[in-house]
Amino acid sequence: MDGPHDLGGKEGFGPVVTDEADTPFHHDWEGRMWGISRSGAGAPGVTIDWWRHVRELIDPVDYLTRPYFDSWAQTELATYINAGVITLDEVRSGHSATQKDREARVQSVAEAIAQDASQGTDFSRIIDAAPALKVGDHVRTLEFTQQHHTRLPGYARGKPGLIHAHHGAHIFPDESAKGHEMGQHLYSVVFDAKNLWPEAGDKRDRVYLDLWESYLEPL
Amino acid sequence: MSNYDSAKVAKIHHHLHSHLPSEPALRVKALESLLVEKGLVNSQTIDAWVEAYSEEIGPKRGARVVAKAWTDPAFKARLMDDGTAAIDELDFVGNATAHLKAVENTGSVHNLVVCTLCSCYPFALLGVAPNWYKTAAYRSRAVRDPRGVLQEFGVNIADDIEVRVWDNTAELRYLVVPQRPAGTEGLDEEALTGLVTRNAMIGTDRKFSATATGTS
């Protein structure tokens, strides 16, 4: 979707604030949100791509102005509400209207670390189709994409690039965000900065994106 | 069960905008309370995850991978060939690192990592991402004005150095392997680990000190 999340190349956001405390969390609530996200059961049917799409759907003003982990809280809540696990009335009252029918896991730090180690999710898939493109092929990205979730950023649409690497097939996010798992060939595509940005001039700089086969057409 | 209806979720966000408190701490507390009451999270477990990512899982892991690559050419070759298999040797594979690619800085190439569409980051290897990595300023500008962004980090890239920006649009995650600082020939892997900064592994640091402490 062409939402506020698609930030690559947008202008007007000012300098990057580079001096910050070298700690993972700057407020207690950020740590709480991280812990909820990492330890929570998650709403049924949520894929990583649907979760990203739900975050993209936050009102643009909120998306651009509220703190990062705050958007995680709203996304998490929205996925639970959408799945019918939490109701808006419960959000309003601040309490669950039903008795709990399960107990959440109690984990020690060591168990959390072990669980993290088991969460290196493999997104690659074996598919029958042979890759239609190979390293060195010239390609052009799609000019338009769909309204739902996609991982082809606006700044890289309709642009010429070169296949830099083939990663095999990975879960296709545009379908995964609708609950369908299918593999599709994934490539690293390199773009000359001067083909993306008018001011890049004669610089040799390059931008690399990982893009699925259906985002690309051979040139 | 979930449906995958954008319009329905947009309405939910609209309601949440109206009904949630404005203060982020209160919003997160509201979420935690409801999930605890429903038996979907446990507050002690949340504490454990905060501690895990404050004390154990963080940029020191990535620094050790870089230091090992500097001192062990065979490991470096394996890291460049298959990043995930290489960090698995150190038991560092975990959340968001199952498809890790190492990209190497040289005298003529500088690498910079960004996620313009959300804020993808190799959590199990580098810990929680710094705030700046998640800001609109960094996400919008890193692909378009990487040299300007780097200057804001105090990194000046000479014209004859090629900048390669890696936008994390899929589940691959990128680790920048910086150049080993001059004057560190006598240092062992542990001492070198202390020199590698988190920012160097994202690409917003390039020539760091041979003596300063790096990441904690």
- What pLDDT is recorded for position B167? 98
- What pLDDT is recorded for position B189? 97
Residue A159 lies in a domain: yes
- What pLDDT is recorded for position A50? 97
**Domain endpoint, select from A117, A138, A166:** A117
Q: d(Cα A60, Cα A62) in Å, to the nearest integer?
A: 5
Q: Which of B9, B32, B41 sits opposite A57 (nearest CB)?
A: B9
Predicted confidence (pLDDT) at residue B107 exceeds the cutoff of 70: yes
Instruction: Write out chain A's pLDDT in tens, 219 residues.
Output: 999 999 999 999 999 999 999 899 999 999 999 999 999 889 999 999 999 999 999 999 999 999 999 999 999 999 999 999 999 999 999 999 999 988 999 999 999 999 999 999 999 999 999 999 999 999 999 999 888 999 999 999 999 999 999 999 999 999 999 999 999 999 999 999 999 998 987 778 999 999 999 999 999
Q: What are phi and psi of A98, to 5 degrees?
A: -125, 155
Residue A156 lies in a domain: yes
**Alpha-carbon gap: B71 to the closest alpha carbon of chain A (Å):** 25
CA distances from B180 to A40, B174, B196, B212 (A): 40, 18, 9, 14
Residue A46 lies in a domain: yes
> Does the model's ipTM exceed the 0.95 cut?
yes
Which residues 3-42 of chain A have a CB within 8 Å of chain B? 5-11, 13-18, 20, 22-29, 31-36, 38-41
Q: d(Cα B177, Cα A210) in Å, to the nearest integer?
A: 19
Domain identity same for A79 and A132 = no
Q: How confident is the model at residue B209 (pLDDT cuts 50, 70, 90)?
A: confident
Q: Which of A13, A28, A33 sits opposite B136 (nearest CB)?
A: A13
Name the catalytic one among B33, B54, B118, B209. B118
CATH number for the domain that contains residue A202: 2.30.30.50
Decide if A117 and B93 are in contact by the 8 Å CB cutoff.
yes
H/E segment holding residue B49? helix B43-51
CATH number for the domain that contains residue A65: 1.10.472.20
Domain identity same for A94 and A173 = no
Residue A17 lies in a domain: no
Please state whether B91 falls in left (phi above 0), alpha (psi between -120 and 50) or beta: left
B95-107 mean pLDDT? 97
Task: Give per-residue pLDDT as tens, B119-139.
Answer: 999 999 999 999 999 999 999
Domain identity same for A149 and A107 = no
> What residue type is B61 in one-letter code?
R
Task: Give per-residue pLDDT as tens, A32-80.
Answer: 999 999 998 899 999 999 999 999 999 999 999 999 999 999 999 999 9
Mean pLDDT across chain B, nearest whole number? 95
Q: Which of A55, A82, A156 sits opposite B3 (nearest CB)?
A: A82
Domain identity same for A112 and A148 = no
- Determine what percent of chain B is predicted with pLDDT higher than 90: 94
Decide if B34 and A203 are in contact by the 8 Å CB cutoff.
no
Q: d(Cα B35, Cα A43) in Å, to the nearest integer?
A: 11
Alpha-carbon dihedral sign for residues B65, B68, B69, B73: negative
B208 shares contact with chain A (CB less than 8 Å): no
Give the number of domains in chain A. 2
Domain identity same for A131 and A198 = yes
Domain identity same for A113 and A128 = no
Residue A21 lies in a domain: no
Task: Give per-residue pLDDT as tens, B134-192.
Answer: 999 999 999 999 999 999 999 999 999 999 999 999 999 999 999 999 999 999 999 99
Domain identity same for A108 and A188 = no
Lowest mean pLDDT among B2-11, B47-56, B73-82: B2-11
Q: How confident is the model at residue B212 (pLDDT cuts 50, 70, 90)?
A: low
Residue A23 lies in a domain: no
- What pLDDT is recorded for position B214? 59
B158 shares contact with chain A (CB less than 8 Å): no
Shortest CA distance from B119: residue in chain A: A68
Chain A interface test: which of B46, B151, B215, B216 (most A C-beta within 10 Å): B46
Predicted confidence (pLDDT) at residue B216 exceeds the cutoff of 60: no
Domain identity same for A158 and A211 = yes
- What pLDDT is recorded for position B2? 60
Residue A80 lies in a domain: yes
Domain identity same for A130 and A96 = no
Domain identity same for A59 and A93 = yes
- Please give the residue range of the domain that contains residue A184: 124-218
Domain identity same for A206 and A132 = yes
Q: Which of B15, B50, B97 sits opposite A88 (nearest CB)?
A: B15
**Domain endpoint, select from A99, A117, A135:** A117
Name the catalytic one among B119, B140, B209, B216. B119
Decide if A167 and B93 are in contact by the 8 Å CB cutoff.
no
Q: What is the DSSP string of A129-179?
A: SPPS--TT-EEEE-S---SS---S-GGGTT-EEEEEEEEEEEE-HHHHTTT
Decide if B41 and A36 are in contact by the 8 Å CB cutoff.
yes
**Domain endpoint, select from A117, A137, A154:** A117
Domain identity same for A203 and A140 = yes
Residue A5 lies in a domain: no
Active-site residue B119, yes or no? yes
B64-82 mean pLDDT? 98
The answer to whether A180 touches B3, Cβ cutoff 8 Å, is: no
**Alpha-carbon gap: B173 to the closest alpha carbon of chain A (Å):** 10
H/E segment holding residue A125? strand A124-125
